[in-house]
Structures are given as structure tokens and as C-alpha cells.
Structure 1
């Protein structure tokens, strides 16, 4: 941590009140750098337009609209761009990041790509700690942004290794899994929830029945869940969870299931432990999605709509279509919003590869048939 200069007594300016103990801790050069860094991050944000809210093509009279917030159009190609910017700003404004601080974080890939981007923007070194199973495409993107990757065998190791590396280099552990829910201003300030509702204002149904997201840190569901409560909106928040994740067993009250979790094959969501940023009290419902169904969601979007998204988007879509079916059955019509988290090219050798899927025992074809049938019923 860049702590600035050591505390020293402030000199007397004369004419003051007696008896005061005045200790100043101020390094003018660091404060100047902080102002520069915040302005630089703000300028970068202003160069980027907001991400699109896409409605899945359907007949004009389709009773349920399904929308995808396309977070893949951020400069670093994923939903995690928002989080990384918030984490870096949080560290700067807390006094934890200065002009010579090495940034370190534990990540499954996409957050680290975005953090490396912001570190390079500020001229700071960045180290990402992740498992060896992380897709080579993501590792290459981190390195392209100037970051360094520290690979470990087990997903449960990433936290301690990242903390240790930050301490060894007198750096700052960004700790996305703890700080995601607190680094983002959930009341507004252009967070993802505010953006979604702003973009829906001219739609036939401007207040969706459900917003469906996955949980990696838990920060996105925390932000959206808090926002809809703060605004008094009836929208409910559903979290979809892949196989191997600790979130769903914990939410269901099964502590043994969350302890035995291995972590997810779907990068970006699902964790081997319940992360501190996951706030179950603002989640209205959780749905467990098989990994083969996540792959089917990817292929459904690509085959039917030409939208080439990653597997976590497939997880989101599978849950969103299930809830859309329920909305139609229960109230005749409505709308559901979910997220397009990143693009499929990051998974060219894994979830986007049919041979890899079959080698992993993931036959997505039955789930793809189910999605085709569900879509036919939704749009009939």
C-alpha cells in the first residue's frame, strides 16, 4: 500500500487556539496523482457509450419480451469492465492505491482483463491470480493489456496467493470477491441497474417482471437487488447458478452442499465458496442450471439470432426463458431482462467447441431442443 509520508506534527501558523495536538499526514504529490488518476478514469468512461439493451427478435405481438443487456461491448469486452473500474476507483479514493502501487487480484479471467486495462491506463503494474484451467484466450488478453498471470492448481488457492503477492510487493489486493458489493454505488451513478431501467423507459413494459443474472462475486445481483428496493420497484431478481457452485446450496439452506462445492466450469460465475459480496437477502429466487444447458443457451443465441456469447450468458438465457414461460402462464404477458456477459471467442477451445463439450460429457443437444420448443411457445 502506498501510504504517503509518515505523520509529522504540523508547524504552528500562529494565532491559533492553545492545547491542540495537530498531526498532518499529507503528501501533496500523491494527492495530485489521485486527482489525475480519477480524472483519467472519468475521461475513459466518457469515451465509452453505454452498452446496448437488445430485445430478442420476436413477433410484434409476442406476449413476453426478453431483453439482453449487452455488456460485451465494453472496451474490455465483458460485464466485468464496470466492476474493475469501480474497484480501482474505490482503492484510489480509499488511499490504498497510489502512483507506484502494484495491483493484484484473484480472478477467473474476465475481471482480470478489465483490471489490467485500468492498471495500464494509470501506468501501474498488475498481477492476476487464477487457475490453470482459465481459457488461454483470457490469459492472452490479460497479457496484452500488460498484466502478469500467476497460475495455481486449485480455485480455492487464488485468494491466499493474491493476498500474499500483494503483501510481498507492498501492493494493493483489489479483492473483487469482497469489495464488489461495496465499491459500486447501488443507488445510481450510472450503475448497471440504473442503466437498464433508463433504457426500458419507452418500452411497452418499462418495468420488467424479472432481472436474471449469474453470481461470480455476487456484486451484480447485490447492486440490482438493492436498486429495485431503493426505487420501490416490483421487479424481482433471480440468480442462475451453474454446477459446482456454492451459492445455490447455501441459499437453499444446505451448508454441507456449499462446503463440498468444487467451483464451476462456467468461467465468471459459480464459486467454490460463498463470496462476501453475495447478498442473499436481495435475491428473490435462485435457479440451478446444468452446464450442458449453459452450452445450449450459447448455441441457441448463436444459431437463432447470430449473437455469439459466452457460457455464462447461456446460463443467464436458460434461466430467463424459464421465467418468461412462467410470466406468460401466470399473467399472460410481461418482460424479462438478463445479461450478455462476454463473447464466445474467449471460449473457442472450450464451451464453443462441440468436441470439447462431448469430451467433458456435456451433451447440449437435448437442452437445445428444449429451448427451441420453449421459444416456439413463447412467440406463438
Structure 2
């Protein structure tokens, strides 16, 4: 059972983002929009930033925040950020609030660029990004600037996009890996959708046919790769990080979790393709393709912590195409007709309705458990010694 504050605050957070997006997503002028947007952004920053002890690295980054001027921080951007937080006189909780503020501000900048299609993107930005941002702390801060880079990419301002990526890389170098994949897909597939029949087949094979440890074969060839710096340590110790014995069972899913998450992912793949065929939008197509690639890749490397860090940043972007799916009128009409029993139950109507059902059920089950049955979901004020 979760502590009562966790239940109340996260119900408030999820419901407020849904309410805000539905009612204020397209407010004009920009000044009014950002004034109103400060409410969900600050709420997120407070709730997520006030967490305590989440993930394996929380205490380590707490220490780094508390020793910002003495800790030998290798990443220049992250060092400067922590020192700035220290200069402001903030403690480690204030530091985590600042991290959360940076991330959600960049997320809102990206989402608002989709204007009238952004209505439901706000509802899914928290569930899509919270696991990665709250557990992969420094990587989450770096990914903030990947979101900012995508905003500039949508505006076709590649100079600013590259500049944003360099800032993100100065905080966490891994930011560059999903960025290269996304930019590559943007250049080659911004106007061409991945065929759902092919990607769905590949996803099923990756999820239910391939052995979870089959990816360990890359350890046999890793010594041919030279990346330099910290990542060369992973390459030089490939047997430890990528070999079959490196598979971490803590990431293994139960049969029920595998089925429900897979139904969500498969529904996303199908509905994303259908909605973007009905209403093409290049600013969504390349992100849809990136997420689909990430979903397949994540299934292949699901038990390998280091490789998951490359796939998860792609997957968390699903809040953009999923919000677009739900804003597609034809999808809404088909679902409403199915519920009301109007007309015949065509195959497309059944598939669309089933897909939306699986998406909703997955989120209710996963986040319901997170909200109500999460004994580790505590805040800094729940502990006696800080």
C-alpha cells in the first residue's frame, strides 16, 4: 500500500494533466498559454522532485548535489547545473525539483508545437516519461534537451536543434545515441510510415519468439567497436555487460505483464499507422517510426540494463503519436460508433476499438498499481532523517 500523500498527489498529477490538456491546449496568445502552463509544470516539478529514494542512483545523485563544488563531475554541463543549484542555496530536494522543472518545461515546449493536435499529448507525457526520468536521473535531465532539439527540428531550425543536443550531451553523453537514431529516421522516413504489418510481425517475434538472452551474441563482436571514453569500458567488458549472463532477471515480466504491455504496444503500432494514413503529419510520422523502432529494439534487449538505456528514450516519446491518435476524428468516430452499436461491426471498427481499449486498460492497470500499491513511493517528508 502506498502512503496517502503518494496516492493523492499522483491522482492529482495525472488527472490535472488530462484536464489541463483538454481545456487549455490551444490557448492564445502565447503569453496566456505559458502563464496557464506554469500550473501543471510547477505541480509536476513539486510532486516528482519531492520523491525520495527512487531507483538505484537516487542517493548517489543526492551526494553529488550536496557536494557540487567538490565532486569530480566529468560531464561539464551537469557539473555547472549542480553548482548553479548550490549557488541558489537549494538542497538536494531543490535540485531534484529543478531537474523535474527543466524536463517538463522542455516537454511542454515540444508538445505545444503540435498546436490543435496536442490536446491529448499532455495527458500521456507523465506516464510515458516518468519511469525513465525518475530512475535514470542524469539521463532524464539530458533527455530534456533532446525534447527541445525535436522542437527545433519541427521548426526546421537544425542549428538550434544541434545546439540543444550538445547541451544534452554535456549532461549525459547517451543523449546522442537516441538523437542519432531519431535524426536518421527523420531524414529517411519523415514522410514514409513503417508498415504496421511488418513492424507488428517483428514486434511479436521479438516479444514471444526470440530468447531473452539471444542478444548476448553481440559480446562476441563488441571488441571491434571503439567509442572511447566511459563507453569504451562497456565495450572492453562486453562479456559482463552484453553476454548471456548479463541478462538481469529483475527486468523479467510476468506472463500477465508481458501480455498487457504487448497488447498496448501492438495497439499503438496499428492505430498510429491508421491515424497517420488518414491524417499525415511529418512532425508525427518520424516520431511514430522512432517509437516503433524503439519498441522492437526494447523487446530484443529487455533484460540488458545498458542496452535498455538506448531503447527507452525512443519509447518514451510515445506520448506524441498517441496523443495524435486520440485527436484523429476518424478514430474517435469509429470508437463512438462501436460503443453505441451504430452500424455494422466492420473489422476496422473492431480493431480500432480493441486497440483503444487495450491502451486504456494498460495505463489503468500499470499506473493504478503505481499509485495504490507502491510502498517505495515516498517523499522526503516521509523520512525522519534527511
Q: TM-score, normalised by structure 1?
A: 0.25
Report the structure, 1 or 2, having the larger strand content: 1
Which has the larger Rg?
Answer: 1
Q: RCO higher in 1 or 2 (8 Å CA, sep ≥ 6)?
A: 2
Report the structure, 1 or 2, having the larger helix content: 2
